Amino acid sequence: MTTTALLALDEIQRIEQEHQLPLYAKREISLVRGEGPYLFDSEGRRYLDAMSNYGVAVLGHADPEFAAALTDQLNTLATGHQSFYSDVRAALLVEIAKIAPEGLSRAFLSNSGAESIEAALKFARAATGKPNIVAARRAYHGRTLGALSATADPKYRTPFEPLPLPVTHVPFNDITALEAVVDGETAAVIIEPIQGEAGIYPADDAYLQAARDLTTRHRAMLIADEVQTAFRSGVPFAITRSGVTPDILATAKALANGFPIGLTLVTDAVSGAMPSGAHGTTFGGSPLACRAALTTLTALHERNLYARSEELGAQIINRIEALNSPKVRQVRGRGLMIGIELKERVTPTLRGLQEHGVLALPAGNLALRLLPPLIWQEEQVDELISALSMVLGGDESSG
Ligand SMILES: Cc1ncc(COP(=O)(O)O)c(C=O)c1O
Report the alpha-carbon angle 361-364-365, nearest 5: 95
Span from the CA of 157 to the centroid of ligand 1 (angstroms) = 15
| DSSP assigned state of 60 | -
> H helices within 100-160, ranges in order?
113-128, 145-150, 154-157
CB of 376 shorter than 6 A to ligand 1: no
Crossing angle (nearest 10°) for helices 287-302 and 305-323 = 70
Asked if 250 and 227 touch (Cβ cutoff 8 Å), the reply is: yes
- Report the run of H or E that residue 29 belongs to, with start and end: none
Round to whole Å and give the CA distance between 49 and 44: 15
- Report the run of H or E that residue 313 belongs to, with start and end: helix 305-323
| Ligand 1 nearest-atom number relative to CA 253 | 10
Span from the CA of 346 to the centroid of ligand 1 (angstroms) = 21
CB of 114 shorter than 6 A to ligand 1: yes
User: What is the torsional sign of CA 108, 203, 205, 126?
Assistant: negative
CB of 388 shorter than 6 A to ligand 1: no
**Atom 8 in ligand 1: residue holding the nearest Cα:** 113
CB of 226 shorter than 6 A to ligand 1: no
User: What is the torsional sign of CA 92, 95, 101, 106?
Assistant: positive
Q: Is there a cis peptide before residue 166, judged by omega within 30 degrees of 0? A: no
- In tens digits, the chain (399 residues) has pLDDT values of 666 789 999 999 999 999 999 999 999 999 999 999 999 999 999 999 999 999 999 999 999 999 999 999 999 999 999 999 999 999 999 999 999 999 999 999 999 999 999 999 999 999 999 999 999 999 999 999 999 999 999 999 999 999 999 999 999 999 999 999 999 999 999 999 999 999 999 999 999 999 999 999 999 999 999 999 999 999 999 999 999 999 999 999 999 999 999 999 999 999 999 999 999 999 999 999 999 999 999 999 999 999 999 999 999 999 999 999 999 999 999 999 999 999 999 999 999 999 999 999 999 999 999 999 999 999 999 999 999 999 998 777 654
CB of 239 shorter than 6 A to ligand 1: no
**Atom 16 in ligand 1: residue holding the nearest Cα:** 228
Burial string for 220-233 (b: 16+ CB within 10 Å, else e) reads bbbbbbbbbbbbbb
Round to whole Å and give the CA distance between 282 and 81: 6
- For the residues of 212-237, what is the DSSP string, one character each? HHHHHHTT-EEEEE-TTTTTTSSSSS
| Ligand 1 nearest-atom number relative to CA 197 | 16
Asked if 231 and 255 touch (Cβ cutoff 8 Å), the reply is: yes
User: What is the pTM (predicted TM-score) of this model?
Assistant: 0.97
Asked if 225 and 364 touch (Cβ cutoff 8 Å), the reply is: no
Round to whole Å and give the CA distance between 103 and 248: 10
